[in-house]
């Protein structure tokens, strides 16, 4: 989360927009970029790296979305958001890869 906070702090300084308002769109853009890079990469090492980055940005997206919706910034509350983000990422990447390979071989 610290790296994500650093990106938000720099973006807030550059744009002048509040970091919490920037968090959701910025994490969504970075998630889509890392997913695009994941599917374009051919080497397994890059796939692992981009899968980790995708999970990281989805976790950031869920944390800031929950904080924006529920207004709770308590650290103990983050555990559920990371669990939800990890499940969404795992299921999403597995399903996308499964369908991509299934469509390629049929």
Domain hosting 23: range is 2-105
Cα 1 vs. chain centroid, distance in angstroms? 11
pTM of the model: 0.64
pLDDT band of 85, cuts 50, 70, 90: confident
Total domains in the fold of the chain = 1
Burial of 99 (C-beta count, 10 Å sphere; 0-12/13-18/19+): exposed
pLDDT number for residue 76 = 54
How would residue 33 be classed by pLDDT, with cut points 50, 70 and 90? very high
Three-state secondary structure of the chain = CHHHHHHHHHHHHHHCCCHHHHHHHHHHHHHHHHHHHHHHCCCHHHHHHHHHHHHHHHHHHHHHHHHHHHCCCCHHHHHHHHHHHHHHHHHHHHHHHHHHHHHHHC
Residue 5 in this model has a pLDDT that exceeds 70:
no
């Amino acid at each position: 989360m610290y790296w994500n906070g650093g990106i938000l702090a720099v973006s807030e300084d550059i744009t002048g927009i509040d970091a919490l308002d920037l968090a959701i769109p910025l994490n969504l853009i970075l998630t889509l970029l890392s997913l695009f890079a994941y599917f374009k990469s051919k080497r397994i090492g890059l796939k692992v790296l981009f899968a980790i980055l995708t999970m990281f940005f989805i976790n950031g997206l869920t944390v800031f979305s929950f904080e924006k919706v529920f207004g709770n910034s308590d650290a103990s509350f983050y555990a559920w958001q990371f669990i939800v983000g990890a499940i969404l990422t795992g299921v999403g990447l597995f399903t996308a890869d499964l369908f991509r390979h299934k469509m390629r071989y049929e």
